Chains A and B, each alone.
Chain A
Amino acid sequence: MLITAFVVMGLATADPPIVLYAASSLCADPRYPALDGGLLIACDKRRLPTVRLHPETLDKSETETPHSWPSHPILLPHPRPLSPVAQLQAGVAWVANGKADDADLWWLGSDAGAPVILDGGPGDQHHPIASGDWLAWVSAGEIAIWNTATGEKRRIPTNTGFNAAPTIDGELLCWEVRTQDDIDIHCNDKFIIARPGHQTHPIRVGERLFFRENDRLMSARKKGSP
C-alpha cells in the first residue's frame, strides 16, 4: 500500500487526512507538488517532478522527463522571477513589480492588444490562479474572483497570500489562514483543515483537498462526500 492512514485530531469538516507517501519526496523546485492537466505532479527521490498522481484514484505513474510548465507569450511588464502566470481562454494574468516592493496584477486579454493593470495600488495583488473561466488572486490579503466570461466579480474577506497561493476548482476556493498558533486551510464551502502544526499549499480537486504538512503531501476528503 502506497497510502497509509494518518492519525488525525480536531478535524471539523474533513474525513481523516492521509499521507500520500508516494508523492511526499521533497521537491527541489518549491512550486511542486502542483496540479497540471488534471494530474497532481510530485517529485521522485532525485527531487525532480516526474511523479504523476491521479487526484481521485491516487494511482501513481512516473515519467522519464521532469514536468515543465507550459510556456506563455512574452509579457510586458515582465512577470516577477519564478512567479506564476495564470492562463485562461480569455487571457493571461501575471504579477509584475509595483511601485514599492509590492506586486501588481496585470491582464492581457486574448482579444486586446495592450496589457492593463487588473488590480494595482498599495499592497500585494498577486498569486493569480485559474480554473475554467474563473480567475482568482489575492488582493492585499483578500481573495478576488472574476468570471472572465460573464464579468461577475466577488471578494472573499480574509487575510491570506503570505505564503502560498490559494487554490481554485471551478468556484471552489481554498486558502491559507494564520491562526494564533499555526497555519490552517479554509475553503469557501466551509471545508476547513485545522490540525496541530502548519497545513499549507492547498490544492483543491472536487471534494478532495491536498495540502502539505511537515514536508509531506496530505489528502483530505470533505466529510460526507462519496
Chain B
Amino acid sequence: MIGLALGLFAVISAIGAGQHLLSDAARKSPTAWAHALGGGLLLWGLIGGVAGKIGVLSPGFGGAVLGLSALGYFRPRLLIPPRLWAMALIAGLLIAVGLIDVFGPLDGADERYLHVGLPLQMLLEHGLLGGPLHPNGSRPLTLQIAYTLVLGIGEVSAAPALHWWLSLATLTLVIQLGRLHFGKLHVGLFAAVVLATSTTFLVSTGQAASDIPTAFGILLAIDAAICGRARQGAIAAALALSIKYTAAAPLFGIWLCAKGGWSTRIKVAAGTIIMVSPWWIRNLIENLHPLFPFTGWPLPQLSFEYPQKYGAGRDLIDFVWLPWRMLFEARPDTRMFLGRLHPLVLLALLPMPMVWKNQRFRPWIVASLIGLIAWSIGPQWLRYLIPSLPLLALTGAAIVVPLAHRTSLKTVLWGALLLGSLSGLQGSRRHFMNQNNAPMQSTQILVKFCHEVLPEDARIAMLFSWASADINRAQILGSLDDHTPTRHFLLRNRGRVVEALIDAGATHAVVRKVNFLRGTYPFVGIHQFRREFTEPAQQLDDALLMGADLLFQSPTHRVYRLTPRP
C-alpha cells in the first residue's frame, strides 16, 4: 500500500510541478490537470538527467524533487472539472484488477531489466548509466527518472504503482477527450471500455512499463493540436518521444493536422526537438550516436532488434491479413503478437469513410492510421501498438457511437462491446491468477545466493540475464530477447572475454543458460546465425571455464567469480 500511496503522491507532485509550465489560459482548460501531469514528468526527466549527469541522483534527491513539486500544486490552482473525479473513479474500476500486478512480485521482463532494473542501478551508482555496457541507459529516460524518484524513497512496488496511476490518468483522459472533442461522454466511456477489456492494455497497467505513459503523451498532443495550444503540444510531444521513440509515427500524424498553420507546426516541432535534445546531446558528449542504442553501435555491427521475428510475416499477403490475424489469432501466450485486443479496436473503424470529410475526425483518423501502419512495419507485438491504441479506440468510438441513435442499434453496439470484451480479455484471467507464482524458483535461489554471498561492492556482469531488478548489486550488460548488448560485448572481445569483463569493472558474472533457436531467426543466414548467436554463447562458456571460478549453478543460472590472473 505504501507503494500505491507513493505513486499517487508522485502523480499529484508532477501535476504541481507541471502546472507552472502552463499559461494562465491553459490552466483553466478542462484537460489542464493532464497537461500539468505530462509537463511535470517531462520536467522531472530533464532535472533528473542533469542530476544524474553530475552524480547526485539519490533517494534524498528524489524526496526533494517530489516534495518541492508537491508544494507547487497549491498555487496557482488548476481548473478541476466537476465530473473529473467520477471519470477517474470509472477508469480506476476498469483497471482495478491491474493492482494485482502492482502488489505482486515484478513479473514483466521489461520492468525487471529496464523500467525498474535501470532506475535501481542508477540509484546504486548515484547517476546516469549508458554506453555499450548499459545501452538502455542511453535512451531518453524521462519515465525512468520518474521511476527512480519514487524507487529512491519507496519500495519496489512504487514503480508499478506509479505506472498504474498513470494508466488511470490515461483512461480518465480518454473518457474526458471523448466528451470534449466529440461531444458525448459515451464516446469516451466506450473507448475506455474497449481499452480496459483488451488484455494487452489491461495487463500492462500494473507493470512498470512505458507504452501507456507514451500513449498519455500522444493523447495530450492531439488535445493540444486540436485546441491550437502550441506550447502544450510541444511539451506533450516531447514527453511522448522522450519516453518511447515509437511515439513519432502518431505524433507525425497529429502534427500534420495540427491547428494553426505551418508556422505554428514548425514552432511546435522546434520546441519538441529542443526539449528532447538534451538526451541526444548527452549521448554526443559520451561519444555515442544521438540515437544510441537503436543505432550507432561500435564495431562489430549488429542489428539492435529483428522486427521480422515478430508478427504474422512480411509478405504482401501477410499485411492484407494482418488486421484479421491481430484481432482473432493473437494470443498473449504465443510470441507472434504476444497479446490480445478487443476486436472493436479495429472493427469500429470500418465505417470511417462515412466521417472522413468531417474535419473534426481528420486528426484522429490520420494519427490513428499512421500509428497503425508504423506499428505494422515494426515489431508486430501488440503492446507496441499501445501508444496508438487510445487514438484508435477513441476514433472508432467516435465513429460508431453516434450511429447508434435508435434503441435497437444501441443494444447491438453495447452488445458488441460486451461480446468483444470476452474475446479481448482472453489470457487476462490466466495472467492475473498466475501472478503470485511469477518468479521461477531457480531465479529466486539465484537471487538468494547473490544477496548472501556476493560482497556489497561487487559489480556483476549480467550475461544473457534480465534479472537486474532482483539483484541488489551494481551491474553491467543486462539484456533481453536477442541479448544484443551481451552478444556485442562477446563479439567485440573475442578471445579475451574474461579480461574484458574485468577491465569493464565486473567482479562476478551471472550467466543465464541460453539456447538460441535457428527457427527463431530464419531470416538470418546460417553462418551469420552461428557467428552472431551460438558461437558467442559457446565461447563465453569456454572463457569462463578457463578463466573464472564457478560459485553457483542452478538449472537456469551460473555465478562466477572473475579474478584477474597473473
Note all chain B residues with C-beta closer than 8 A to A103.
Answer: 551
Complex partner residue of B455 from A80, A82, A101, CB under 8 angstroms: A101
Contact B555 A28, beta carbon cutoff 8 Å: yes
Taking A81-B448, A101-B458 as contacts, is the C-beta distance between A183 and B545 under 8 angstroms? yes
B244 close to A (CB within 8 Å): no
B553 close to A (CB within 8 Å): yes
Note all chain B residues with C-beta closer than 8 A to A30.
Answer: 553-555, 558
Note all chain A residues with C-beta closer than 8 A to B542.
Answer: 198
- B interface residues with partner A (beta carbon < 8 Å): 445, 448-449, 452-455, 458, 508, 542, 545-546, 548-555, 558, 561
| Assembly CA distance A147 to B551 (angstroms) | 26
Give 21 A-B contacts (CB < 8 Å), ordered by A residue: A28-B555, A29-B555, A31-B553, A80-B452, A80-B453, A81-B445, A81-B452, A81-B554, A82-B445, A82-B449, A82-B554, A97-B452, A101-B455, A101-B458, A101-B551, A103-B551, A162-B549, A163-B545, A164-B550, A198-B545, A200-B545
- A interface residues with partner B (beta carbon < 8 Å): 28-31, 80-82, 97, 100-101, 103, 124, 161-164, 178, 182-183, 198, 200
Contact A81 B455, beta carbon cutoff 8 Å: no
When C-beta atoms are compared, the residue in chain A nearest to B449 turns out to be A81
| Assembly CA distance A100 to B551 (angstroms) | 13
Taking A101-B508, A101-B561 as contacts, is the C-beta distance between A81 and B545 under 8 angstroms? no
Note all chain A residues with C-beta closer than 8 A to B453.
Answer: 80, 97, 101
- A31-B553, A100-B455, A162-B550 known, 20 other contacts, Cβ within 8 Å: A30-B553, A30-B554, A80-B449, A80-B452, A80-B453, A80-B552, A81-B448, A82-B445, A82-B553, A97-B453, A101-B455, A101-B561, A124-B549, A161-B549, A163-B545, A163-B550, A182-B546, A183-B545, A198-B542, A198-B545
Total A-B residue contacts, Cβ distance less than 8 Å: 49
Interface SS majority for chain A:
loop
Note all chain B residues with C-beta closer than 8 A to A182.
Answer: 546
Contact A101 B454, beta carbon cutoff 8 Å: yes
Note all chain A residues with C-beta closer than 8 A to B449.
Answer: 80-82
Residue of A81, A103, A200 with most chain B CB atoms under a 10 A cut-off: A81
| Assembly CA distance A85 to B445 (angstroms) | 17
When C-beta atoms are compared, the residue in chain A nearest to B446 turns out to be A81
| Assembly CA distance A200 to B544 (angstroms) | 13
When C-beta atoms are compared, the residue in chain A nearest to B556 turns out to be A28
Note all chain B residues with C-beta closer than 8 A to A200.
Answer: 545
**Chain A proximity of B162: nearest CB distance (Å):** 33
**Chain A proximity of B457: nearest CB distance (Å):** 10
| Assembly CA distance A161 to B549 (angstroms) | 8
**Chain B proximity of A34: nearest CB distance (Å):** 13
**Chain A proximity of B497: nearest CB distance (Å):** 16
Note all chain A residues with C-beta closer than 8 A to B508.
Answer: 101
Residue of A31, A80, A164, A183 with most chain B CB atoms under a 10 A cut-off: A80
Taking A100-B455, A101-B458 as contacts, is the C-beta distance between A82 and B552 under 8 angstroms? yes
Note all chain B residues with C-beta closer than 8 A to A81.
Answer: 445, 448-449, 452, 552, 554
Taking A82-B445, A97-B453 as contacts, is the C-beta distance between A162 and B548 under 8 angstroms? yes
| Assembly CA distance A121 to B326 (angstroms) | 61
Note all chain B residues with C-beta closer than 8 A to A124.
Answer: 549
**Chain A proximity of B501: nearest CB distance (Å):** 16
Note all chain B residues with C-beta closer than 8 A to A28.
Answer: 555
| Assembly CA distance A111 to B455 (angstroms) | 35
Note all chain A residues with C-beta closer than 8 A to B553.
Answer: 30-31, 82
